[in-house]
Structure 1
Amino acid sequence: MKRLGRRGFLRMVGAAGLGWLAAACGAPPVPSPSLGSPSTPQAPLEVASPPPPSAIPSPTPTRRPLGNANVPGMYVRYFQPFYPPTREEWRLEVSGLVERPRTFRFEEIRSEMPKVTREARLKCVECWSARRTWGGFTYEALA
């Protein structure tokens, strides 16, 4: 058997393409006289009686999947779990363009900062939001 070279392969592909093109350019199919024509009913038409009220199902309650509805709970989706730091090793560093750079330990934050609670809405990129009460301290308390 003779090995097929690059030029032979291109000739075969070209011939197959021309054959496909010739088949696609053939005459359009002739429509059948029975297709698309209106049909006549075989029996007289009867008007159906409405179903009894017990057979009609109650409407399904709808739930808006999007919008600013208050979502119960806070669903958190993450790719890989992480191990939270212990309270002893946790630090908050305030640096950069500040007058007094400082590093806070967890217990300093808990004891020194005035506690504030605010109700605010968390909005997600997946078009849901939830209103929650958040607790913490203000930025002004750090400065």
Structure 2
Amino acid sequence: MGSDVIIFVIYLLVLLCIGLYFSKKASKSPDSYLLGDRKVGPAVTALSMQSTSMSGFMFLGGPALAFQQGWYAIMYAIGDAGGGIINLSVLGKRMRRMSEILGALSPIEYLEKRYESAAVRVVGSIIATVFLFAYVFAQFLAAGKALESW
């Protein structure tokens, strides 16, 4: 067994121990698990949102576009960051307060409770599933292209 395999197994065991330790400390309610007891601050929320919105384009396509066509391509990155800032500043506080009042744990559940319609949940779930599938597929393509060029 090579040293890489031993290091990887040790890494997995450390992760397992950390997970077990914190699972004993964690509350078992859905709010606690999904929303961190609603104690996650705005900075962590913003970082989390931006890190999930970053895609293969921002890491592969954006730099390639800038290399080919010049500095104007930086507008894509500014738009991505600016859109997140505007989104959080305009919608963030109000949506957080309303989701707490309504007891919603996800954006789709928020819309369902806000508009008191089960149809909103069904349509929202279908839309989210289709677009998340397309988004993940695009990330796999970007990763494949990156690995292929390596």
TM-score range, shorter chain: under 0.3
More helix by share: 2
Compare CA radii of gyration and give the structure with the larger one. Answer: 1
| TM-score of the pair, normalised by structure 2 | 0.18
| TM-score of the pair, normalised by structure 1 | 0.19
